[in-house]
Structure 1
């Protein structure tokens, strides 16, 4: 491996960060049975997939077969057999979770070489839309949506025959079932003039996706919303989250990320954000949390007054907050987050958090060299 290869520094930081999580990994091992693949290797492989824009676990294992660079980074020997792609599927709900992704991000930020790069007082927040893996044709009226057995376990099984309502009906022969009419999956659909909303429609492909548009003049799409909390000194991501898309999601997620970043802290922080965060209830909540709201002012009915805007730090925070767009752009172009890969919020939240941790690793090479 070349001495100046960028993966050398990244591998060193990841190795130390995962070593600090040994106690977490020990609890994942069973007391008996055949030996399993080390969690550290699966996490390194997942980070490698993000850093090199590999589209799937199957392609990643194909690279692992003949790429010595990947084997060296993950920790496989030159003669070791690469894993089957289903290893990631079986470990996604056990190891590759949101909680573990957050711990990996925190361990990287707590590294002895990374911690001095972080700002202790000035942070920024923003959100971005992530297109869901669901087409607009799947956005159907709720009356046609399949029933959810988890919500109403008392429903009878849908076996095509109605349950008898009386003893006489129970002895009668059931009517023969009719085959439903065939409908082409790619049939032409004209949505012109049809009013659709999240209150009346739901996606049959991903029921947790929401129809949303972030700004006027843009088309609505089925999507989720990713959120990040960035420190203003080096532009590293401190917290990440993913929620359903709506007009209040950005402010709610920012409050949650602030609580996770500094729970019960009494030191004063400044939070920079765009005009979408200029809300009276949000600004009041920040002040109760001892957080100075360096939020961009709306042209009318702004909750930010002169006691904040008159200070020199307010203008500086407004300039620095725009750096948060760079990690979002990296996550969508390099990290593959322009569109979701899995169905449901929980799995995509874990993937988004790990992608933002990989974005920090990609930036550390230049930051540490400087």
Structure 2
């Protein structure tokens, strides 16, 4: 017999949300380790002591964590999902009849007290401190990398960087334009960018893959023990800015979390002489990084490795035994001979080169052989020595943990394109996404049963 059961839709029922959320649900594990007491204390000075009570900032943060954990990119849709989903209501401490805040509440708080107090940075660091307490951060080895994320700017709204742009009154322009003009006045760059977006001028023109587009780079610094993100920093999409972002993150983690790694793992983009010199000489960190070296020759002539360096004599010796020096006569006033590129040029005597039988293999097209030695060459030698050790190959395998996080960021959290504009918008989105990733990683490691729920949710 066919059964039939129709319940009147207007019937009132008493519901206990605790019964509707499975014990292995991802949000249960996250809620177990999410403590927003420090966050509330941090925000308290930015609220008035009188007037009508505001929307609870903890509710806003919990809703944003849901959005980033489950890849809900639209805040309007996020409000709808929290309204309908019982597990989301349970996580947000909302009763079945409690009203969900309007989507405009997020932008009002983000552009106001959240940004003034750097609330998202405080949220990220409070979660990081919990990861440290739970033993998920070793502090021995860090890995760094950058990933390009498309900006919310169309390439059709691009103008050449050399073209004069009349921005008008900065006070009447959009927030991304005001941020760009303020940064432009502070930085005073020597060379203009190739293209500038009229929508988000601070975004970089990138042709990393396929047709060019406007983008920002998210820079991660992770601890290799469990893949926890210890810091995140937005930057323009170029190697120099990404290396500077890594320096900023290392200094900030050391200052705020009292963590300083013994080794830093990175790809060739972080193997420049300046970066290696900073790591070895100023920070005392072993660079497990391939050296950025373009000195090897492809025309069959002697490479720099064929020349022997003598530290005491401050000279090179060529394969024929002749000296290459930075100066061949004494000067009344001592000179450093350091070029703008941070190198010292060592060159042989013209007499030695003209009489040498190996000139055709050494410098067939120039009168003398010249070698540009970096002022950080000793740091480069340290990195080259590390590249020959078994520990370096282990570090290369551990470097993949950063790439896995970037794949998770774009495929699971759906952050392959920014929704907010300007450097501050990129700052907010990258911090919230990294916070969600750390929370998910903590739930996976400390509550393995929640992993199945996390997979089904994505």
Q: Same fold (TM over 0.5)?
A: yes
Alignment-derived partner of residue 103 in structure 1:
122
Name the CA shift for 1:322/1:29 in 2 (closer, same or farther; >3 Å): same
Name the CA shift for 1:32/1:73 in 2 (closer, same or farther; >3 Å): same
Q: What is the Cα deviation at residue 273 of structure 1? A: 0.1
Alignment-derived partner of residue 205 in structure 1:
199
User: Quick one: distance in 2 between partners of 1:53 and 1:245?
Assistant: 24
Aligned: 1:12 with 2:90: no
In the comparison of the two structures, how many residue pairs are matched?
Answer: 323
Alignment-derived partner of residue 174 in structure 1:
none
| TM-score, length basis structure 1 | 0.80
Q: Deviations 1:287-331 (Å, cap 9, x if unpaired)?
A: 111211111244644935443224432221111011101111111
User: Quick one: distance in 2 between partners of 1:353 and 1:70?
Assistant: 21
Equivalent residues of 2:253, 2:260 under 8 A apart? no
User: Quick one: distance in 2 between partners of 1:140 and 1:133?
Assistant: 16
Alignment-derived partner of residue 404 in structure 2:
326
Quick check: 330-339 or 250-259, which moved more?
330-339
Name the CA shift for 1:115/1:146 in 2 (closer, same or farther; >3 Å): farther
Aligned: 1:84 with 2:102: yes
Q: What is the Cα deviation at residue 152 of structure 1? A: 12
User: Quick one: distance in 2 between partners of 1:267 and 1:42?
Assistant: 33
Aligned: 1:137 with 2:174: no
Name the CA shift for 1:49/1:95 in 2 (closer, same or farther; >3 Å): farther
Match of 1:274 among 267, 271, 274: 267
Structure 2 unmatched ranges of 5 or more: 1-20, 174-190, 296-376, 449-458
User: Quick one: distance in 1 between partners of 2:416 and 2:196?
Assistant: 21
Q: Any idea what SS the aligned residue of 1:283 has?
A: helix
Structure possessing the higher relative contact order (Cα contacts under 8 Å, 6 or more residues apart):
1
User: Quick one: distance in 2 between partners of 1:112 and 1:330?
Assistant: 19
Match of 1:244 among 229, 236, 239: 236
User: Quick one: distance in 1 between partners of 2:431 and 2:38?
Assistant: 19
Match of 2:74 among 36, 56, 66: 56
User: Quick one: distance in 1 between partners of 2:55 and 2:259?
Assistant: 43
Aligned: 1:119 with 2:131: no
Name the CA shift for 1:88/1:152 in 2 (closer, same or farther; >3 Å): closer
Q: What is the Cα deviation at residue 120 of structure 1? A: 1.2
Alignment-derived partner of residue 188 in structure 1:
none
Which is higher, the Rg of structure 1 or of structure 2?
2
Alignment-derived partner of residue 21 in structure 1:
39
Name the CA shift for 1:233/1:64 in 2 (closer, same or farther; >3 Å): same
User: Quick one: distance in 2 between partners of 1:151 and 1:79?
Assistant: 43
User: Quick one: distance in 2 between partners of 1:226 and 1:306?
Assistant: 28
| TM-score, length basis structure 2 | 0.66
